[in-house]
A and B are shown apart, each in its own frame.
Chain A
Amino acid sequence: MTAPRANRPLARAALVLAVALALAIPRAAAAAPVVTTQAVAEGLTCQCGCGLTVANCNHPNCEFSVPVREQIDAMLHRGMSGPQVIAFFRRKYGEKILSAPTTHGFNLLAWIMPFAALFAGGALVAIALGRWRSRPNRPVAPENPAGRDAFDPEMRRRLERDLREDL
C-alpha cells in the first residue's frame, strides 16, 4: 500500500514524531535504578503528622522521615528487597505506617469498591443504552460518512454545506 503523494510529507512527519516520542523517555531515563530509597519510602507514611509519605515529607529536618530514609538506604545497600524493608517497618510501627491499605480483610474493600462501582456503572450504562436502542419507531439514520475520505463526494458536500453556514 503506497501513500498518495500529498500524504507523504504528513506520513514522514508522523514517523519522525513517533520515533521522537518513543525515544524521548529511554534516553532521559537511561540511568534509572531498579529499587530506590525514594520508591520504598513511597510505601511508608511519615509519622510526623504531615500526612505525606516518608518519600514526600516536606519538613526539612523531620525527626521521622529523615532517619527512616537513611535506614531504608542502609537496608537496601545491605541487600534487602523493597518488600522486606516495608515488612520490617510494618512490624515496628504497625499497619498505620503503610501508605496503602493491605489486600486482605476489611482493607480489601478499599481496593474492590472503585472497580465494583465502575462495573456497576458500566452495567447501568449498557442497560440504559440497550433499552433506548430497543425502543420502537426509531427513525433509521443513514450511515454517517465521518469515516470516509476527506475528499469523497459525499463528505465534500457535507463540508461545503457546513462551511457555507459558517461563512
Chain B
Amino acid sequence: MPLIGQLALALALILAAYSIIANVAGARRAIPSLLASARHAVWAYCAMVTVAVAALWISLLRSDFSLEYVASYTSSSLPTFYKITALWGGQQGSLLLWTWLLSIFTAVVAFQNRRRNPEIAPYALATLAVLAIFFLGMLNFVTRPFDMLAAVAHDGQDLNPLLQNYWMAIHPPSLYAGYVSASVPFAFATGALITGRLDDSWIRSTRRWAIFSWFFLTLGNLFGARWAYEVLGWGGYWAWDPVENAAFMPWLVMTAYLHSVMIQERKDMLKVWNLALIGMAFALTLFGTFITRSGVISSVHSFTQSGLGPYFLTFLIAVVAAYSALLIARLPKLRSPAEFESYLSREAAFLFNNLALVGIAFAVFWGTLFPVLSEAVRGVKITVGPPFFDKVNAPLALVLIFLMGFGPLIAWRRSSFDSLAKTFAAPALFGLVTGACALAAGLREWYVLASLSLAAFVLGTVVVEFRRGVGARRHLVKESTPAALVNLIAKNNRRYGGYIIHVGVVMAFVGIVASSFFRTEVKKSVHEGDSFQVGPYTLEYLGMETTETPHVETSRARIEVRRDGRPITMMLPAKLFFKRNQQPATAVAIRSTPAADLYVVLAGVDQQTGLVTFQVFLTPLVFWLWAGGVMMAFGTVIVMWPNVRERAALAAAVRAAADTPAADEPLRRRA
C-alpha cells in the first residue's frame, strides 16, 4: 500500500507538470485537442492524489506501523474514528489533504470550463497546477507521507489527545476547504492578468467559488473556536493565537473582496483593487500555512510545526512577487472610467467597509508578526496577545457593524440627507431605544452599550428591507406574507441571503461582546456532598467515578445543578489520561442556554485529602455566537443557491468578454 501511495504521488506530480505545458501551449496555439489532453491530465492527477489518500487511509485503518506516519500519529488502541481523522493529524497527512482538495477543486474547474472561458481557463488551470506542483513536490521530496521505518514499530505513539475530539474531525478539513478554494478565484485572476481579459467575467465565473471559500473559512474558524471552547478548558473560544489569526485574516480579506466585487460588477470600478484583494486573500492562506508549520511564532497549534517554513516562505514570496509583477504590468489597462457622485452612496459605504475589513486584517497581521520584529530590532522577545488585539480591533469592529447596517440601505450613486433620514429613522430609533433600555437596566460599559445599539440598528435595517420587499410582493402579486417572503428570497437570493448573513454576524457579535465582558469565574475546592453557588445555580458535588478502556482512563465528577432548589441537570466534567502517550487532558461539561453557558472544568483532584477543585465559568449569551454561525451558514447557502437570472447574466458576461479583444495581446503571447 505505501508503494502504491508513493507511486501515485510521483505520477500526480508528472501529470500536473504535463497539464501546465499542455494548457499553456494549447491556449497559445489554440489547439483544442491539446487543451482537452490538459483537462484529462488534471482529472488524472486528481485520481492519482485520491489513490494516495486512499492508500494512507487504508494504512491508518490497518495500523500499518511499518509506516512512519501511522506509527507517529496513531496507536493500535486509537478508536477507528480518530484513525480516519489522523489523516490530517500530522504534517505529511495534512499536506496530503490540502493537495487532495486542491486536485479535486482543479478537476471541478476543468469540468466546469470545458466549454466556457476558453481564453482564461487554461491559464487558470495552469496556475492551479503550479500550486499543486509545489505541494506535490513537498510530498514527493521533503515531507513524504509514505516513508517507512527501518523496523516495524510494536505500537504507534498515538494521536495528540487535543486532536481526539469530534470538532477536530471537521475543523481542519473545513478550514483547508476555505483556504484551498480561495486559489480558484486567484487562479482566474492570474489567468485574466495573463490573457488581458480584464473585464468582470473572471469575477462572475468564480463568484460561487469565492463564496464557497468564504463559507468554509467561516465554518473553519467557528469550528476551531468551538474546539478551543470544548477542549482547551479555559472557558473561552478565541485566544488571538498566531494560527487563529492566520485563519482569520483570509476571512477578513475575502469578506472585503465579496463586497468590493459588487462595485465592479455594477459600475466597472475598482478593477485593480479587486485583483489586489484576491491576491492578498490567497497570499494570506499561504501565510497561514507558513505560520502553522514554520514554528517561527509559538502557538497552541505546535503539533503541526515542522521544518517546512523556509519552503513555504520562498513559495509565498515567489507567488506574491509574480502576481504583483503581473498586476503592475497590466496597470495601464486596468484604469476604468470611474464614476463617483457622492460620499453618500453605496459605493462609498462599501469602500469604507473594505477599509475597515482590510484595516482589521492589517492590525491582526501586524500584531502577529510584531514579536518577530521586536526580536530582530531589540533582541527582546515579547508577546502580543489578547489585550492588544482586543483594544486595537474593538473600535474597528463597531465601525464595521455600523457600515453593515448603513451600506445595504443607502442608494447606489448618490443619496440625500432627506432620503437617508427617512430610510434610517426607524432602525436608528430602534438602536437608540435598545441602548437606552440597556442603560436603564444598569449597563455602564460604553462599548457594550454601543454594540447593543448598533446590533439593534443593523437588525432594524434588515427588517426594513424585508418589509419593503414583502410589502411590494403582497401588493403586486397578491401573495400571502409567508409566500411573499419565500419568493422574495428565492428570486433575489444573493441580496436577501446577504441580509441573513448580516443577521448571523450581528448575533455572533452580540455573543462575543457579552461573553467577553461579563464572564464570571468561580474556583472552588470541595469534598463530596458539598455545594457552592455560581450565579443563579447551586452546584453539588456528588462524587467521582472512574472508567477505563485500553486507550484512555477517565475520572468523571458528578455534579448536580439546581436552580431555585429544583434540580435541572447533571454535569459530568472529567479528567482523561491517555495511556499510550501518557498525556492528561480535560473534558469540560457545558450546559448551554440562550441566556448563558454554565461551563464546568474538573481542575484537580487531591487524592490525600479527597478535595476536588472545580473551575466554573458562567458566560452570558455565548450561545448566540454559535447560533450566529449557523445563521451565517444558512444565509451563505441561500446566496449560493442557483439562480436563473444570475446564470443568464454570467452567460452574457462571458459572451461579451469573448467578443472583446484582450487588453494586451503581446503580454499574453509572452506568457
Given contacts A57-B234, A147-B422, is CB(A22)–CB(B430) below 8 Å?
Answer: no
Is there a chain A Cβ closer than 8 Å to B139's Cβ? no
Q: Which residue in chain B gives the minimum CB-CB distance to A166?
A: B491
Alpha-carbon distance between A109 and B382 when the two chains are bound, in angstroms: 13
**A80 contacts which chain B residues (CB < 8 A)?**
none
Pair A28/B441 contact, Cβ less than 8 Å: no
**Contact among B298, B338, B383, B436 with A99 in the assembled complex (CB-CB below 8 Å):** B383
Residue interface mask A111-148, B partner, CB < 8 A = 1: 10111011001100100110011010011010111111
**A114 contacts which chain B residues (CB < 8 A)?**
359, 362-363, 366-367, 392
**B374 contacts which chain A residues (CB < 8 A)?**
101, 106-107, 110
**B563 contacts which chain A residues (CB < 8 A)?**
none
Query: Chain B nearest CB: distance from A70 CB in Å?
Result: 9
Residue interface mask B411-424, A partner, CB < 8 A = 1: 11111101111111
Query: Chain A nearest CB: distance from B514 CB in Å?
Result: 5
Give B457-493 interface residues, CB cut-off 8 Å to A. 459-460, 463, 467-469, 471-473, 475-477, 491-492
Is there a chain A Cβ closer than 8 Å to B586's Cβ? yes
Pair A42/B521 contact, Cβ less than 8 Å: no
Pair B381/A144 contact, Cβ less than 8 Å: no
Pair B518/A96 contact, Cβ less than 8 Å: no
Is there a chain A Cβ closer than 8 Å to B642's Cβ? no
Give A141-167 interface residues, CB cut-off 8 Å to B. 141, 143-151, 156, 159-160, 163, 165-167
**B380 contacts which chain A residues (CB < 8 A)?**
95-96
Alpha-carbon distance between A159 and B231 when the two chains are bound, in angstroms: 51
**Contact among A19, A26, A165 with B443 in the assembled complex (CB-CB below 8 Å):** A26
Is there a chain B Cβ closer than 8 Å to A10's Cβ? yes
Q: Which residue in chain A gives the minimum CB-CB distance to B469?
A: A159
Kindly name the residue among A143, A146, A149 whose own CB sees the greatest number of chain B CB atoms within 10 A: A146
Query: Chain A nearest CB: distance from B398 CB in Å?
Result: 13
**Contact among B355, B387, B434, B452 with A125 in the assembled complex (CB-CB below 8 Å):** B355
Alpha-carbon distance between A32 and B416 when the two chains are bound, in angstroms: 45
**B473 contacts which chain A residues (CB < 8 A)?**
163
How many residues of B are in contact with the other chain, CB < 8 A?
112
Pair A38/B521 contact, Cβ less than 8 Å: yes
Is there a chain A Cβ closer than 8 Å to B659's Cβ? no
**Contact among B302, B452, B517 with A21 in the assembled complex (CB-CB below 8 Å):** B452
Pair A22/B348 contact, Cβ less than 8 Å: no
**A42 contacts which chain B residues (CB < 8 A)?**
385-387
Pair A25/B416 contact, Cβ less than 8 Å: no
Pair B338/A147 contact, Cβ less than 8 Å: no
**A14 contacts which chain B residues (CB < 8 A)?**
426, 430, 433, 460, 463
Alpha-carbon distance between A55 and B514 when the two chains are bound, in angstroms: 18
Is there a chain A Cβ closer than 8 Å to B535's Cβ? yes
Q: Which residue in chain B gives the minimum CB-CB distance to A94?
A: B380
Pair B620/A163 contact, Cβ less than 8 Å: no
Pair A31/B535 contact, Cβ less than 8 Å: yes
Given contacts A106-B374, A151-B471, is CB(A26)–CB(B298) below 8 Å?
Answer: no
Is there a chain B Cβ closer than 8 Å to A51's Cβ? yes
Query: Chain A nearest CB: distance from B394 CB in Å?
Result: 12
Is there a chain A Cβ closer than 8 Å to B388's Cβ? yes
Q: Which residue in chain A gives the minimum CB-CB distance to B435?
A: A22
Query: Chain A nearest CB: distance from B125 CB in Å?
Result: 34
Pair B366/A150 contact, Cβ less than 8 Å: no
Pair A125/B239 contact, Cβ less than 8 Å: no
**A132 contacts which chain B residues (CB < 8 A)?**
269, 338-340
Chain A binding site: helix, strand, loop or mixed by DSSP?
Answer: helix
Chain B binding site: helix, strand, loop or mixed by DSSP?
Answer: helix
Pair B415/A30 contact, Cβ less than 8 Å: no
Residue interface mask B430-458, A partner, CB < 8 A = 1: 10011111101111000010001001100
Alpha-carbon distance between A49 and B355 when the two chains are bound, in angstroms: 35
Residue interface mask B356-377, A partner, CB < 8 A = 1: 0011001100110010001001
Is there a chain B Cβ closer than 8 Å to A15's Cβ? yes
Pair A163/B477 contact, Cβ less than 8 Å: yes
Is there a chain A Cβ closer than 8 Å to B313's Cβ? no
**Contact among A29, A73, A117, A146 with B517 in the assembled complex (CB-CB below 8 Å):** A29
**Contact among A22, A51, A58 with B452 in the assembled complex (CB-CB below 8 Å):** A22
Residue interface mask A66-86, B partner, CB < 8 A = 1: 000000010000000000000
Give A15-42 interface residues, CB cut-off 8 Å to B. 15, 17-19, 21-33, 36-38, 42
Is there a chain A Cβ closer than 8 Å to B236's Cβ? yes
Is there a chain A Cβ closer than 8 Å to B410's Cβ? yes
**Contact among A43, A97, A138, A151 with B341 in the assembled complex (CB-CB below 8 Å):** A138
Given contacts A22-B441, A31-B520, A144-B411, is CB(A58)–CB(B343) below 8 Å?
Answer: no
Pair A25/B239 contact, Cβ less than 8 Å: no
Pair B382/A95 contact, Cβ less than 8 Å: yes
Is there a chain B Cβ closer than 8 Å to A60's Cβ? yes
Given contacts A18-B433, A55-B234, A163-B476, is CB(A144)–CB(B384) below 8 Å?
Answer: no
Chain A positions within 8 Å of B, measured between CB atoms, are: 10, 14-15, 17-19, 21-33, 36-38, 42-43, 45, 49-53, 55-58, 60-61, 73, 95-101, 106-107, 109-111, 113-115, 117-118, 121-122, 125, 128-129, 132-133, 135, 138-139, 141, 143-151, 156, 159-160, 163, 165-167
9 A-B contact pairs sorted by A residue (CB < 8 Å): A52-B239, A56-B239, A60-B233, A101-B382, A110-B370, A110-B384, A118-B363, A166-B645, A167-B491
- 10 closest cross-chain pairs (CB), A and B: A147-B419, A144-B411, A28-B620, A29-B518, A22-B437, A99-B385, A114-B363, A132-B340, A22-B438, A51-B298
Identify 16 new A-B residue pairs, CB closer than 8 A, beyond the known A58-B233, A100-B386, A106-B377: A15-B433, A18-B433, A22-B437, A24-B595, A28-B514, A109-B370, A117-B362, A118-B396, A125-B352, A135-B338, A141-B413, A141-B414, A144-B415, A146-B423, A147-B420, A163-B472
